Structure 1
Amino acid sequence: MLLKSLWKSKRLNIILLLLVNIVPCFAQNFEADVIVYGGTCGAITAAVQVVKSGKTVLVVSPDKHLGGLSSGGLGFTDTGNKAVIGGLAREFYHRVFLHYDKPEAWQWQKKDEYGNKGQGTPAMDGADRTMWIFEPHVAEQVFEDFAKENNLKIYRDEWLDRKKGVEKKNGKIVSIKTLSGKTFKGKMFIDATYEGDLMATAGVKYHVGREANSVYGEEWNGIQSEVFQHGHYFKKNISPYKIEGDPKSGLLPYVSAEKIGKKGDGDHKIQAYCFRMCLSANPDNRIPFAKPAGYDPGKYELLARVYKAGWTETFDKYDPIPNKKTDTNNHGPFSTDFIGQNYDYPDATYERRKQIIKEHEQYQKGLMYYLSNDSHVPDEVRKEMSKWGLPKDEFKDNGGWPHQIYVREARRMIGQSVMTENETLGKKPVTQSVGMGSYSLDAHNAQRYVKADGFVQNEGDIGVHPKTPYSISYTAIIPKKAECQNLLVPVCLSATHIAYGSIRMEPVFMILGQSAAAAAVQAIDGNLAVQDVDYGKLREQLLKDKQKLEF
C-alpha cells in the first residue's frame, strides 16, 4: 500500500514537472516594447522606427502581404508636393528609384521607352533619386527588405479578437489577443490598420460617415449635391429606370431609392471603394478578363446608357507604370467605384467585410468582362479592351487580382484634436506638427440617387486643392487621455471626412507611422502617457530622422 502511494506521488510529480517545463514551450504569449497592429505601409515604417530607436517591436498583421495599398495596386502615387515627404517615406521612394535604375528591372520595356509620367511630377526624379510610380511587386519587395534588414518579427494572418481581445488596466492597453489564441503584451500600441479595429476595440471614440458642415465650420464636408469637381458624374440626362422614363418599372442596379438629404448635412455614408487594378496590354504578360461567377450584364445597363449618350473617357485613368502596365483607377459616372455598397464596412464583422470585398471583386471583374464583350459597349472600346488583362507577374497567389481593396476611409478617431478642412486649407494654424500633407481634399462619390427631375446623378465627389502644404498635429494621432494612454493611431487618425480626403495618402501614412513610433519610444523612455510626451523632444527626434514638419 505504501509503495503504491509512493508511485502515485512520484507519477504526479513527473506530470507536474512536465507541465512546468514543456507546456510553456507551446505558449501563445509574446511580448515587446511596442506592438504594431496592421500590415500597411504605415505599420512597417512604424516598426522600423522602433527598431532604429533601440526598442523591441512585434508586428501583428491581419494581412499576409506587407504594404497595404502601396503594394496592392496603387503604384501611381498620390504625391501632392513631394518636397514635404521625408524620413522613411522618402527612403521607400528612393529604394524604388534604385530598383528601376538597374537595367534588369525593365523586363517588358526599355527604360527610355517609359514615359516617366507621374502626378504632376516626373515618375523618376533623377535629381532627388526618388521614383514615385512603380509596379506592385516592387513596392512589396521594398517593404519585405525593410522587414528583413531590421529583423522585424511579423505575425501574419493574425486577426484581432474584436469582442474580448483587448485587455486594459488603469487607462492603458496591457495586451491584445488574436483569433488564433495568441496574446501580445506591450508597453505601447500602434493601430496602423485602414479600419481602426484596435482603436475601436480599445474603447476609443470614433466617427463613421460625413459630419455636417455645421459641426466644425466647414464648407466641403457633408452632403454635396450638384457639386462636381472631377469627371465622375452624369453629364447628360440618363434614366435610372429599368424601362427608360418609367418609374413604375423599378430602378436599375446600384441606384439608390433613398431621397438625397439637405446640402451640407451629415450622414452615415462613406466614399466608394474599389480595387486599384494593375493591368497589362502585353500579350506575353496578360491574363484575359474571364467571365466571373454569377455574371449578369444587366447590372451594367446604366453604363450602356452612358455610352449611348456619347461618353468617350473609358481609358482616361489607365495611368502608366513601368513595364507596360497600368494603375487603373475609377473614372467617369459609372466605373470601378462600387458606389453605395460599402456603408457598413467600417463596423462590420470580419465575415461581413469579406463578403463586401467579394462583392466588390465580382462587380469589378464583371465590369471588365462587360467592357470587353458586351454588344452595348462601343466597338472601339471593346476592341481596345480586348488588348488588356491582368498581369501574370503581379499578385501571383491571387490570379493577378490585387490582394488589398482600396479602403478610402473607414473609422476616423475623435482624438485630442480633430483635423478639419480649415487646417488643411490654411484657415487655422496647426501646432505640434508630426508630418505634412499636401494633396487635394479628395473624396469620391458616396451615393447614386434619383434627382427630382427623374434622372440619375452621383454625389460626394470633391477635389479642393490646398494653396500650400499643411502640417498634421501630433494631437490628431492620439486619443483623449481618458480613453487610452498608450495607443497611437496614424492611419485612422482624428480628422473629418473631408480633411481625411487629403490626409489619406499612402506617403502620409508612412510619415505618420514613423512619427507615431518615435512618440511611442519617448513615452516608454519617460514612463509617460502618449498625451504627456514632450513635443519639443519629439520634434527634435523627427527632424533628426529627416521628417518634414513645416513648409
Structure 2
Amino acid sequence: MNIAQLKIKVLLLISIAFCTVVKAQSDLVTKKYDLVIVGGTPAGIMAAISSARLGKTSLILERTSHVGGLPANGLGATDIATRGATTGLFTEFVTRVKKYYTDKYGALSEQVKACSDGYHFEPSVAEVIFGQMLAEHVDKITVLKMCQFDAEPQNIQISNGRISRISILNRDTRKIESYEGRVFIDATYEGDLGAAANIPFRVGREGKSEFNEPGAGRVYKYWGGEEGNGSTYQADNAVQSYNYRICLTNDPSNSVPIEKPLKYNRDEYVSMIEDVWTGNNTGVQMQQVTTAMMKENRKNLANGGTTKIPGDRWGIGKITNMVALPNHKTDGNNQHMSFISTDLPEENWPWPTSDWAWRDAFAQRLKEYTLGLIYFAQNEKELPESFRKATKEWGLAKDEYNDNEHFPRQVYIREGRRFEAMYFFTARDAMPVSPGKRPPAHPSSVTASHYALDSHAVRKREPGKIHLDGFISYPTAVYTVPLGVMVPKQVDNLILPVPVSGSHIGFSTIRMEPCWMALGQAAGVAASLAIDGHTRIRDVKNEQLQNLLIDQKATLMYYKDIDSSNPDFKMVQFMGLKGYLPDWEAHLDAVVDRQQLAVWNKLSGLKMKFKAGSTTRREVLRDIYRSINKQMK
C-alpha cells in the first residue's frame, strides 16, 4: 500500500468514525418522548406515572444520583393537616409505605405502628417505594440521573410558543445532551426550566398592601401568638430559610456520632448558651415567663435538672423539631420554638436564581453549619452538663445515605421561584370565606389540599425581637387548587407543578409534598390530554381532565363523609365543583327538603320533579348528574 492509498484509508476511517459520532449524537437528539420532566421530585415522578397510565412515554431528568426529592432526603413526617384531603397517587404512595413495613416486620410490629398508616417513613424506604412505582411502568418511563439543567436560554429551544428541545449537562460524562418532547414539565424545587422559558416569576415577599394576606411582608410574632412589635408588613426580597431534614437515631447500634466539621465556627452558636440556661424561647408562653423564673431555671440546671420554662425544649429538641419514624429514627426539622436551630436564614436568599456552582457551595456550607450546631450542643462546656448528655444520645442513622456520610443529599428548598401563571394563588384561596365554611371552591380544581399558611424565618436573630422575622403560621381549611396555578400564559406545552403561581403566603401552604404529588399527577394527565387533543395545556377541558383524575382516585373537593372508595365519589366530586354541595358533608342518605330541591332545580335548569321529604339527596343528585352528563355528550 503506497502513501497515497494509506492517506485515503486513514481519511475514510476518520470519516466513518465521524459519521458514527454524528449518528450517535443525532440518535440522542432525535430521541423523543411525550413528556420531558426536569426534576425527579415526587411531583415529577407522579407526572410520569399518571401519564404512563394513559399510554404516554416520559423522560425524567434528575440532577442527583437518586430520585425522590425531599421524602427520600429526610422529610419522612408527611406535612398534611387533614388526611384524606389529598388522595390519588399520594394515597397509593402512603399505602405502599404501610405495606412495606407490614410485609417486612409484621402487622403488629412497632415499625407499622410508627409508620402512622404510611404517613411516616424512613428516607431509604421512600426511595424504595418511588422506585417500585416507577418500575411498574418501565416500558413508558425512562429515568436518567446526574442530568443537570441550567436555567440558561441556550438550553431551551422555543418556537411558536412551544418548547421543542432542552439541553442538559451529563454530570458523569461532562457532555451536553439534548432531548425532545411534546410536553415539558418543570418539577424542580427552584423553577429552573420555567425561568429558561422566560416565564415571569417572583422571588421574595409581597407586602400586606398587595393582597391583604395575614403574615405578609416583615412580621414578628411569638409562635402561637399575635403579630408584635417590629412588624412593618413591607415587601422585600427575603426568601424563607432552608435546612436539612436530618435523620437522627438514639439506637446505639445504628448511630454515627456527630464529629466537629472542618469549618467549625463556635461563634455562630454561642447565643444558644444563655437560651439553654434561662429557658428563653420563641413561644407565646414566654409572655408569662418572669426574670425570677429564668433565674430559678438556671439554678435547677446547675444542679443537674432539666428546663422548667413553659414552651422550652430540652436536649436535641432545643435545636431540632423531631417526629418519630420507624426503627427509632426521626425526621429532624428546624425547631420553631428556638432562636437558633437548623435553619440558616439570610444566606439562602440567592438560591432560587443562582447557578448550581453557588447552590452546591451553599449546600456544603449548610451541611457544615448543621453538623457544627449539633456538635456544639453536644460538646460545648459552657452548656449545662445535663443538656449535653441528653443531646449526645442522638447521632446520624448509620443505615441512611450510605454514599453521603449518612447525611441528606438534598437541601430542603422550601421556596424557589414562584411563577405568574393563569391563576395566582393567595392566602384568600386557602382561608374560609366565613367561620366554619370552605375557602372559595375552584371549578377547575385538580386537587384538594390542606396545610397552614406556614413560612420559616427569613432573617437571623435580631436584638430585642420576640422571634425571627417571617417565622409564621396561620390556620386554613381544606381548599381546592385550580389547574391554572401551574399553566403559564406564554408557553403552550409547559407545566409547572412545583414552582407554582402564587404569593409568598399563598405558596406557603401549597408547597407541601402531598399537594406537589397531586399537582404532578394532574400535570401528567393534563399533558396526556393536550397531546391527544393536539391542543395547548390551557385549552384542555376541565371536565375531561377532572374525570380522568377522579378515575385515578384523586380528590378534587374534600368531603368529610365521602371518600374515593364510595360508589358515589365521582358524582359527588362533579356535583361539588358545580356548586351543588358547598358544605363539608354531602349527606347523601338524608331526605331532600323543599328549599334544597328548589336550589338544585335552579342550578340545573332541569326542573326535575321529586317529592320533598321522601326522596334522598343521593337520588336527586344522581338524576341531575346523569342528565348533565347526557347533555355534555
TM range (shorter): 0.7 to 0.9
Structure 2 segments unaligned to the other structure (5+ residues)? 170-174, 281-311, 434-439, 559-633
Note the C-alpha offset of 1:318: 2.1
Superposed CA offset, 1:12-55 (max 9, x none): 67765654456413554232111000011111111111211111
- The aligned residue for residue 338 of structure 1 is 344
* 1:450 to partner: Cα distance: 3.4
Q: Which residue does 1:220 correspond to in 2?
A: 215
1:288 to 1:230, Cα distance in 2 relative to 1, 3 A: farther
Picking from 501, 512, 527, the partner of 2:508 is: 501
Match of 2:616 in 1: none
What letter is aligned with 2:323? D
Does the CA contact (< 8 Å) of 2:150 and 2:192 recur in 1? Answer: no
The letter of the residue matching 1:476 is V
Cα deviation digits, residues 489-542 of structure 1 (max 9, x gap): 000101111111111111111110010110011111111111111111111111
Contact 1:223 1:265 in 2 (8 A): yes
- Residues 403 and 22 from structure 1, CA distance in 2 versus in 1: closer, same or farther, beyond 3 angstroms? closer
Count of residue pairs brought into register by the alignment: 504
Where does residue 545 of structure 1 map in the other structure?
Answer: 552
Normalised TM-score (structure 1): 0.86
Per-residue CA distance 1:453-512 (angstroms, 9 max, x = gap):
x5674111111111x3100010111111xx211100000101111111111111111110
Deviation by residue 1:406-439 (Cα, 9 ceiling, x = unmatched): 1111111111111100001133442300112111
Find out whether 1:526 has 2:533 as its counterpart. Answer: yes
1:198 aligns to 2:210 (yes or no): no
In structure 2, do the counterparts of structure 1 residues 98 and 262 end up closer, same or farther at CA, with 3 Å as the change threshold?
A: closer
Change (3 A) 1:112 1:404: same
Counterpart amino acid of residue 446 in structure 2: V
Say if 2:50 is the partner of 1:43.
Answer: no
SS at match of 1:184: strand
**Which residue in 1 is equivalent to 2:96?**
95
Distance 1:232 1:300, change over 3 A: farther
- Does structure 1 retain, via aligned residues, the 8 Å contact 2:207–2:216? yes
2:369 aligned with 1:363, yes or no? yes
- The equivalent residue for 2:24 is 25
Specify the alignment match of 2:223 in structure 1: 229
Equivalent residue number for residue 156 of structure 1: 145
Residues 16-415 of structure 1 mapped to structure 2, 5 A cutoff: 16=15, 19-20=18-19, 23-27=22-26, 28-29=28-29, 30-102=31-103, 104-105=104-105, 112-113=109-110, 116=113, 123-125=115-117, 131-151=118-138, 152-163=141-152, 164-179=154-169, 180-225=175-220, 227-230=221-224, 263-311=232-280, 312-314=312-314, 315-316=316-317, 317-331=321-335, 332-415=338-421
CA distance in 1, matches of 2:479, 2:176: 42
1:461 has 2:461 as partner: no
Pairwise CA distance, 1:174: 1.0
- Match for residue 485 of structure 2? 476
Q: 2 CA distance for matches of 1:443 and 1:412?
A: 14
Q: How far apart are residue 310 of structure 1 and its match?
A: 2.2
Aligned-residue offset at 1:80: 1.6
The 8 Å contact of residues 41 and 188 in structure 2, kept in 1 or not, is answered as: yes
- Using the TM superposition, name which of 372-381 and 32-41 deviates more: 372-381
**Partner secondary structure for residue 45 of structure 2:** helix
- Matched position secondary structure for 1:78: coil
Alignment match, 1:512: 519
Contact kept in structure 2, 1:271 and 1:339, CA below 8 Å? yes
**CA–CA distance in 1 between the matches of 2:225 and 2:366?**
22
* Larger relative contact order (CA 8 Å, sep ≥ 6): 1
SS at the partner of 1:137? helix
Tell me whether 1:448 sits opposite 2:460 in the alignment.
yes
Gaps (5+ residues) in structure 1? 118-122, 126-130, 236-259
Give the whole-Å Cα distance in 2 for the aligned partners of 1:300 and 1:441.
29
Alpha-carbon RMSD across the aligned residues, in angstroms, is 2.5
Where 2:182 maps in the other structure, the secondary structure is: strand
Rounded to whole Å, the distance in 1 between the matches of 2:420 and 2:342 is 31
**Secondary structure of 1:182's aligned partner:** strand
Higher strand share: 1
C-alpha displacement at 1:228, in angstroms? Answer: 2.5
Distance 2:454 2:18 in 1: 58
Are the aligned partners of 2:222 and 2:467 in contact in 1 as well (CA < 8 Å)?
no
Against the structure 1 CA distance between its residues 270 and 15, is the aligned structure 2 distance closer, same or farther, given a 3 Å change threshold? closer
Work out the CA distance in 1 between the residues paired with 2:264 and 2:9. 69
One-letter amino acid matched to 1:157: M
Whole-angstrom distance in 2 between the partners of 1:306 and 1:487: 49
Deviation per residue, 1:291-310 (Å, 9 max, x gap): 10021222111111211322
CA separation of 1:455/1:190 partners in 2, compared to 1, >3 Å: closer, same or farther? Answer: closer
Deviation at 1:221, TM superposition (A): 1.8
